[in-house]
Structure 1
Amino acid sequence: MKLLIVTCLRDFKDAVANIFHEAGVRVFSMSDTTGVKDEHDQNLLDDWFGNRDGEFDSLILFSFTNADTSAKALSLIKEYNAANGDAFPIRAFIVPVEATSYES
């Protein structure tokens, strides 16, 4: 069993849902989160109108799934990022699950 973890901007929710569907991830959880990117600019004139340090409405999605399904999702996310070249790529991680409280 694997834990597939995905983080993305809220704007990419539908893209991740489509990737999950294509990969065979049928059950997942989703939670709102705030992503923070702390990039203080050394030139104060460049930061003249700045407000909060790079806070972004983000999501974290996760699913307990098998190795093949999680690998397929990771591959599709890499393809999506390569095709879209966004400054805020979808991030994905696969974590092994060593033990569980239930039998599947």
Structure 2
Amino acid sequence: MKLVIITAIKEFENDIKLQLKEADVKTFSFRDVTGYRDSTEDAVESNWFSSEMNQTESILFYAFVKKENVDMLFELIDNFNQQQESLSQIHVAVINIEKSN
């Protein structure tokens, strides 16, 4: 069993749900979160709004996933990210679970 954590902008919520379903992840939890990005080191011309901290409506998913389904989920998310024209992507991480009840 692995713990999978997924973060993305709120607009990707339904896409993530579809990817979880396609990877045979039947149970998961999610919640709305506020994402922050420190843009103080960006070049002035790429930081149009001159704000140092940018907030984004984001979403956080977490699920206990069978080991055999993790690679498929990563592949689905990787394919999705490659097709995006925007700078935003879905971020995913996996954590080994040594013991659980």
Residues 52 and 68 (structure 1), Cα distance of their counterparts in 2 relative to 1, 3 Å cut? same
Amino acid at match of 1:27: T
Matched pairs, number:
100
How far apart, CA to CA, are the structure 1 residues paired with 2:46 and 2:3?
41
TM-score (norm 2): 0.87
Structure with a larger share of its residues in strand? 2
Pair 1:33-2:33 in alignment: yes
Give the aligned partner of residue 11 of structure 1. 11
In the alignment, is residue 20 of structure 1 matched against residue 20 of structure 2? yes
**10 and 98 in structure 1: CA distance in 2 versus 1, 3 angstrom threshold:** same
- Compute the RMSD of aligned alpha carbons: 2.0
Task: Return closer, same or farther for 1:51/1:25 CA change in 2, 3 Å cut-off.
Answer: same
Does residue 39 of structure 2 align to residue 58 of structure 1?
Answer: no
SS where residue 81 of structure 1 aligns? helix
TM-score normalised by the chain length of structure 1: 0.85
Structure 2 alignment gaps of length 5 or more: none
